[in-house]
Amino acid sequence: MKEGNRGLSLYTLLVFVFLLGPLVIISITSFEPGTVLKFPPEGFSLRWYRNIFEVSMFMETFKTSIIVSMLGNLLALLLGVPAAYALSRFEFRGRDTLNALFLSPVLIPGIVLGFTLLRYLIVVYGLPIYAGLLIGHTVIMLPFIIRVIASSLANFDFAVEEAAQSLGAGRLETFFKVVLPNIRSGILAAVLIAFLESFNNVDISVFMTGPGVSTLPIQMLTYVQNYFDPTIAAISVILMVLTAALMFIIERLMGFAYFTKR
Amino acid sequence: MALISLEQVSVAYDNRFILEDFNLQIEKGKLLSLLGPSGCGKTTTLRLIAGFLNAEQGKFMFGGKDYTNVPVNKRNFGFVFQSYALFPHMSVYDNVAFGLRLRKMKEAEVKQRVTRMLEIVSLGGFEKRLPKALSGGQRQRVAIARALVIEPDLLLFDEPLSNLDANLRVNMRVEIRRIQQELGITTVYVSHDQEECFSISDQVAVMNSGKIEQLAHPTTIFKYPASEYVARFIGFGNFIAFESRSDAGEDIELSRGALKFLAAKRPNGAGNLGMLGAIRPDDLQLWPSTQEAPLSGNTLSGRVQVSTYLGRSYQYEVETELGVFTVNQEMDVPFAQGEQVTIYFPKDKLVLVQ
Ligand SMILES: Nc1ncnc2c1ncn2[C@@H]1O[C@H](COP(=O)(O)OP(=O)(O)O)[C@@H](O)[C@H]1O
Ligand SMILES: [Mg+2]
């Protein structure tokens, strides 16, 4: 390796230490046997991991998070797949505007979006909190669903669909027999990315939770305000592992190019 | 009566007309090709016939019925794409069977037809392969089989060979012609390659920015282009603008200043309209000016400007009082640069265009 590159390597290493260091420290402290978060830990114990499953709030909110993410995902797919198809296949007036509209939840700060949704869905229209939460999550997942599926449609030769039509297939038949089987991995990747986005979300959820309805990240926030034990560190480790596993699958399906070319 | 008829058709993209008052008739069982440079509207015409595009105006008649508003999937036309457009997730067998299954045919009959079609395109034994495990030529044959197996009323090809290498292109076009004639299927074939079009067509339509400049049998176009555009496109590299012509005699007499030329009339008396003389570089002959030309008339003296070696022949750029002429000539001892020469224009090779 050339001389100049050694300095660059060292620099890269430092950046990684800076980025990953806190995660490593959290992971290590999660094994603390005592009742207060410390670094370095005074021993090794899985006590706080066990605690997660014993505190019913965590289990309840975990269930809510999963249900909201999955149901919202389904709704976002029902809206997003036709939208992605139309945006990538048809030339029509107002296409760019529509595109921008669908992507706007990524551009608008979460706090603003969350507050707006609260104001209208819950305060003005009086929807139940649970419904508001579901709609909020559908809205934040939609842009990811549309973008990932549209990019996978863009890689699929339109002529293949025309070939199916010339052989006698109608539009829907063409979509289900020819398009869908070829964008399956794109759809799966979209679902996983959207799931991560929703499952880890704080800024929307924080407005959409109330008595009896809360998501896991919100519950974690509440918990650290009152307790100082390493439970949160333990949950964080589990969430990190879950996220890493999903990212690994997404990378296998789509490559990371999607994340770097936004 | 013609099987296909496009009548006064207009197509526009973004308010720009690509085809305007376009007319085309094709006889049953014939192969007609659309020939022209990239961007002249060949694909647009083909997609209009296929039903992928809607005309702003005009009618598309097929077998005496108005097909203008019949959707693609109800037309029963086979389309072969430049990119092959095979279904990537299906085996060769399933690709070919696709159209038959949509027609709710019994599996036993599907099998019989697919197997026979794969034999016709010499792909027996490849049934289980996925498209990505095939070569370009094999993919194209699957695409052809897939379009043919539905027994289409019309077969449409859009530059089907342009992604193949040169040898394969020649073999495939012979294949396409063989199958087309064997099954007697009416075909429209699009290409920008004149040799390809000439070799397989019953009729060639030479297109220029959305208009058909000439529609005729390939040999007619090759020998007697009707316009300067067609002449240039098919390799007539030399032009002389004459000032007057007289058709009184056995040959057409032409003059430009003091220079007199003769052009032979066509056997049936048709064509040869206009006053622009056109001739191919291969048809001109060169003599050293020291040597007397064997024939008098139809000559022009000049000086060799550039000489390049083409392998089979030499190509010369010869400067004359009427401009620079390009001449291809086979010879053992080539002319040197700067040499004085006489160019001879055989009268039966000199064509008049508009
Ligand atoms: N979808 C489209 N939108 C706008 N212009 C187009 C479209 N398709 C083709 N054109 C234009 O129409 C003209 C003819 O195109 P085409 O029929 O594809 O030509 P060819 O097949 O002879 O190369 C070209 O000028 C091209 O730029
Ligand atoms: Mg084209």
Please list, in sequence order, all residues whose beta carbon lies within 8 angstroms of the beta carbon of residue B84, skipping any fewer than 6 positions away: B131, B136, B139, B140, B142, B143, B163
Q: Mean pLDDT, to the nearest integer, of A233-243? A: 90
A122 within domain boundaries: yes
Please list, in sequence order, all residues whose beta carbon lies within 8 angstroms of the beta carbon of residue B142, skipping any fewer than 6 positions away: B84, B86, B92, B95, B96, B121, B123, B126, B131, B134
Q: Which of A48-52, A150-154, B53-57, B276-280 has the highest mean pLDDT?
A: B276-280
Q: Phi and psi dihedrals of A204, rounded to 5?
A: -85, -45
Give the CATH number for residue B247: 2.40.50.140
Is pLDDT above 80 for A255? Answer: no
Please give the structure tokens belonging to residue B137.
């030529």
A245 within domain boundaries: yes
For B53-111, the pLDDT digits (tens) are 989 899 999 999 999 999 999 999 999 999 999 999 999 999 999 999 999 999 999 99
How confident is the model at residue A262, as a pLDDT?
A: 39
Residue closest by Cα to atom 7 of ligand 1: B13
Q: Considering only CA atoms, which of A110, A79, A116, A109 is closest in space to residue A201?
A: A110
For A5-30, the pLDDT digits (tens) are 888 889 999 998 898 888 888 888 88
Between B40-49, B84-93, B332-341, the lowest mean confidence (pLDDT) is in B332-341
Cβ of B43 closer than 6 Å to ligand 1, yes or no, is: yes
For A177-222, the pLDDT digits (tens) are 999 999 988 999 999 999 999 999 999 998 988 778 889 999 998 8
* CB-CB under 8 Å, A173 with B79: no
Is pLDDT above 60 for B354? Answer: yes
Ligand 1: centre distance to CA A88 (Å): 19
Please give the structure tokens belonging to residue A101.
């509209």
Nearest-neighbour CA in chain A from B136: distance (Å): 16
Q: In terms of domains, do B219 and B238 share one?
A: no
Residue closest by Cα to atom 17 of ligand 1: B41
How confident is the model at residue A261, as a pLDDT?
A: 46
Give the CATH number for residue B185: 3.40.50.300
Nearest-neighbour CA in chain B from A182: distance (Å): 7
* Stronger pLDDT, A252 or B227, i.e. the higher one: B227
Q: Domain tally for chain B?
A: 2
Q: In terms of domains, do B93 and B235 share one?
A: no
* CB-CB under 8 Å, B52 with A169: no
**Spatial separation of the C-alpha atoms in residues B265 and A184, rounded to whole Å:** 66
Give the CATH number for residue A96: 1.10.3720.10
Does A159 lie at the interface with B, CB-CB under 8 angstroms? Answer: yes
Chains A, B: CB contacts within 8 A come to 61
* CB-CB under 8 Å, A167 with B102: yes
Q: In terms of domains, do B149 and B298 share one?
A: no
Host domain of residue A127: 55-228+236-260
- Give Cα separations from A128 to A138, B19, B134 (angstroms): 16, 58, 57
Cβ of B14 closer than 6 Å to ligand 1, yes or no, is: yes
Chain B residues within 8 A of A170 when measuring between CB atoms: 73
ipTM of this model?
0.84
Best residue for ligand 1 mutational test, from B13, B42, B56, B211 (most atoms within 8 Å of Cβ): B13
Q: In terms of domains, do B157 and B129 share one?
A: yes
Host domain of residue B274: 229-353
**Spatial separation of the C-alpha atoms in residues B133 and B112, rounded to whole Å:** 24
Rounded to two decimals, the pTM is 0.82
Nearest-neighbour CA in chain B from A86: distance (Å): 17
